[in-house]
Amino acid sequence: MLENFVLEKDHLLPLLRKLGRQYRLVAPVRNRHGDTLFTEIHDLDRVEIDLEHQPQSSLKPFFFPQVEVLSMYGLDHDTSSGATWYSFYPQLPENRPTVYFGVRSCDMMAVMYTDMIFLQSSEYDVYYARHRENAIFITIGCNQPFSNCFCNATRSGPFLEHGFDIQLTDIGDRFFVETGRARGVQLRRQWAYFFRDATEDDRRAQFQAALEARGLFNRLVHVDLVTRILARQEEPEAIFAELSARCQDCGGCAYICPTCTCFTIHDQALDEDRGERLRTWDACTFSGFTRMAGGHNPVDPDRQRVRKRFLHKLLHDVEHHGRTSCMGCGRCVDMCFGGVDILRFIEMVSENETEHEETP
Amino acid sequence: MKAIDPRILTPTMVRISEAADMTAQERFFRLRLSRPLGHRPGQFVMVSVPGIGEAPISICCGPGDHDRLELLVRSAGSLTMVLRRLEAGDQVGIRGPFGTGFDLADFEGRDVLIVAGGLGLAPLRSLIEPLILDRQRFGRITIISGCRTPADELFGREMRAWSRVPGTRVIRLVNDTAHLPWDGEVGLVTAPIAGLDMDPAATLAVLCGPPVMYKFVIMELAGRGLAHDRIFIDLERRMRCGIGKCGHCQINHLTCCQDGPVFRLSTVQSLPEALA
């Protein structure tokens, strides 16, 4: 059963200072350029934690870095025999206990999705696991969804039912506090003096805030309808072609997406005898993503390059995992200057359907 | 949590014991392993050259309790251009084996028709070897192998040896003799299918070759009444990880590296991109 508490707003910084002594602290920080990004905090008194704006980045880079060393290779010499040989040595990332503070529901759901991809399938990913172990999530419900948000339609917000360690809800001068997983319960107990038990008034205020938030979404997005349409055999080829033509091959949508996990592996020489094998983010919309040595490409980039992205998120993940891997965060809408975002796709497919239905 | 094994993404270095050009484009490698790979026919390995990178290469030798691994590599990309220059005594990195491959039990007591186009013969050799080695377990074996010119033929001597095994027929074709001596036939791999003595209810077909070949071979096989779940197809894709994560080889809901690269045609025929 969830336990409920209250954290006064002026207790927040003292609590974070305490946490910062025991854990690495990551939170949305507004930088001098006016960007709000999840950032590792070294000195709480010198940064501005921003809970007003949607963080432009998700937590993805903390668990699945844009560039990560998988192994080192080097040429070894046996001085007595003169023999030389190459070896690869796995390099595991360091594992630092971290509190992720101010995480929105969509981003928490995205972490749960990437857990499934990297940890629960047949091949356990040790690199992801090292980053992911010892992570504590203090999430915050969204009282006021942002302009491109549609997590109501992807069932990944604006508040969480599970998955968090601690979930906060802003109820005016205080936060309503729910403890979820064991680490959250333990953390609340360890610093019990920052919290008080929630009263009936606090519960009512939380209920009111959560209820009101559901009515504040700007957009009506037919995610389930589009999944149903895509599940029928005929594909929206014309829509794929139109959006593919407008894609500028930048990969921004995949990089900013909290659930895009495609990668490539390549070598980086450090000197003549040594180097690193790296894993870096990749994007299925890149024209070379599926091109094989010799030049053959089973995907026609001009007409099909967005197909994998949208079908994977809205259809195949529903078939495999029971839900879309779009979490409705809307980041790709701001990122894409060609208008090739998932919202545009969902709207085009669902409008198409409505027209069909209206035709006698 | 499961036991952590970073070796999945970390190659093991092995020595090349034999290297020889088979054609102007393809080089044959035999590697000496420290222990048997335990692969199934149709599986592949990720091959590395430190500092250059990694690419998926089909295993071209049959399975077994032996310490050799054979690969036939066409020089086509940045890695394979470097592989082309490697000699016996040099090292390459290996990860794998990956993929589902063929299950020899599927072929037990059946007639087997193998259609290979060009380099497609290399992965299928990993199936042909165990079929020939344990010949009585299987029905009639027919191998149709085609290439551009006699100079492009792969494993020609072995194909002649296979053709001498009882109950085994090998049809070797070129598109064009290019004024070179040639003791096989001239034409496309589709040509002999119509005239084969074939019982569609007792036959399994296996295809590997360039994508353009599939459509026409499948049409010919359909003309002979072969059901789509009796046709295996060994697909080629760009791959980076081999463990179903990197996304490159995804075909709709399937990943070629984990669900394939060997598929029953009935599984992939309706998927756009699959046979493209």
Q: pLDDT tens digits, residue range B4-20?
A: 456 689 999 999 999 99
Residues of chain B contacting residue A125, judged by C-beta atoms under 8 Å apart:
245
Comparing CA positions, the residue from A235, A220, A219 lying closest to residue A306 is A235
**Nearest by CB to A316, which of B2, B252, B273?**
B252
Residues of chain A contacting residue B253, judged by C-beta atoms under 8 Å apart:
315-316, 319-320
Count of domains forming chain A: 2
Q: pLDDT tens digits, residue range B17-52?
A: 999 999 999 999 999 998 889 999 999 999 999 999
Q: pLDDT tens digits, residue range A48-76?
A: 999 999 999 999 999 999 999 999 999 98
Residues A305-330 have a mean pLDDT of 95
A209 and A184 part of one domain: yes
A250 and A193 part of one domain: no
Q: Which residue of B has its CA nearest to A299?
A: B273
Angle at which helices B156-163 and B121-133 cross, to 10° = 30
- Partner B contacted by A68 (CB < 8 A): no
ipTM: 0.91
Residues A83-106 have a mean pLDDT of 93
Residues A128-143 have a mean pLDDT of 95
Last-in-domain residue among A214, A232, A254: A214
pLDDT for residue B8: 83
Q: Which domain holds residue A19?
A: 3-64+97-214
Q: What is the mean pLDDT of chain A?
A: 93
CA–CA separation, B258 and B105 (whole Å): 20
pLDDT for residue A241: 95
pLDDT for residue A354: 67
Angle at which helices A342-358 and A237-246 cross, to 10° = 150
Identify the residue among A262, A306, A317 best suited for mutation to test binding to B, counting B beta carbons within 10 A and taking the highest.
A262
Has residue A122 got a pLDDT over 90?
no
Residue A202 lies in a domain: yes
A260 and A191 part of one domain: no
Q: Which residue of B has its CA nearest to A289?
A: B248
**Nearest by CB to B236, which of A277, A284, A292?**
A292
**A73/B236 CB distance under 8 A:** no
Residues B89-105 have a mean pLDDT of 94
Has residue A356 got a pLDDT over 80?
no
pLDDT for residue A124: 85
CA terminus-to-terminus distance, chain B: 40
Has residue B267 got a pLDDT over 60?
yes
A197 and A254 part of one domain: no
**A124/B2 CB distance under 8 A:** yes
Last-in-domain residue among A214, A241, A262: A214
Say which residues have a Cβ less than 8 Å from residue A132's Cβ, sequence separation at least 6.
A63, A111, A115, A118, A119
A114 and A155 part of one domain: yes
Residue A71 lies in a domain: no
Residues A303-317 have a mean pLDDT of 95
Comparing CA positions, the residue from A199, A211, A197 lying closest to residue A7 is A197
DSSP string, B197-211: ---TTTEEEEEES-H
User: Which pTM was predicted?
Assistant: 0.92
Q: Which fold has domain B104-268?
A: Rossmann fold (3.40.50)
- Partner B contacted by A117 (CB < 8 A): yes
Comparing CA positions, the residue from A242, A308, A261 lying closest to residue B276 is A308
Residue A85 lies in a domain: no
Residue A12: exposure state from Cβ atoms within 10 A (0-12, 13-18, ≥19): middle
A191 and A227 part of one domain: no
A41 and A177 part of one domain: yes
Q: Where are the domains of chain B?
A: 6-98, 104-268
A273 and A308 part of one domain: yes
**Nearest by CB to A121, which of B7, B244, B274?**
B244
**B238/A291 CB distance under 8 A:** yes
Q: What is the mean pLDDT of chain B?
A: 94
Has residue A360 got a pLDDT over 50?
no
CB B221 within 8 A of CB B193: yes
Has residue A359 got a pLDDT over 70?
no
A250 and A160 part of one domain: no
Residue A75 lies in a domain: no
A21 and A156 part of one domain: yes
- Partner B contacted by A69 (CB < 8 A): no
Q: What pLDDT band is residue A231 in, cutting at 50, 70 and 90?
A: very high
pLDDT for residue B3: 41
A28 and A177 part of one domain: yes
Identify the residue among A120, A264, A316 best suited for mutation to test binding to B, counting B beta carbons within 10 A and taking the highest.
A264
Last-in-domain residue among A214, A235, A256: A214
Q: How many CB atoms lie within 10 A of CB B120?
A: 25
pLDDT for residue B4: 44
**Residue labelled with tokens 């403890």:** A179
Residues A210-218 have a mean pLDDT of 92
* Ramachandran bin of B88, using left for φ above 0, alpha for ψ from -120 to 50, beta for the remaining angles: beta
CA–CA separation, B251 and B274 (whole Å): 6
**Nearest by CB to B6, which of A90, A266, A312?**
A90
pLDDT for residue A81: 82
**CATH number, span B6-98:** 2.40.30.10
How far away is chain A from the Cα of B19, in angstroms, using its nearest Cα?
18
Residue A269 lies in a domain: yes
Residues B204-231 have a mean pLDDT of 95
- The HSE-up count of residue A2 (CA atoms within 13 Å, CB side) is 18
Q: What pLDDT band is residue B228 in, cutting at 50, 70 and 90?
A: very high
pLDDT for residue A82: 80
Comparing CA positions, the residue from A113, A328, A357, A341 lying closest to residue A221 is A328
CA–CA separation, B60 and B47 (whole Å): 13
- Positive or negative: CA dihedral A314, A318, A321, A326: positive
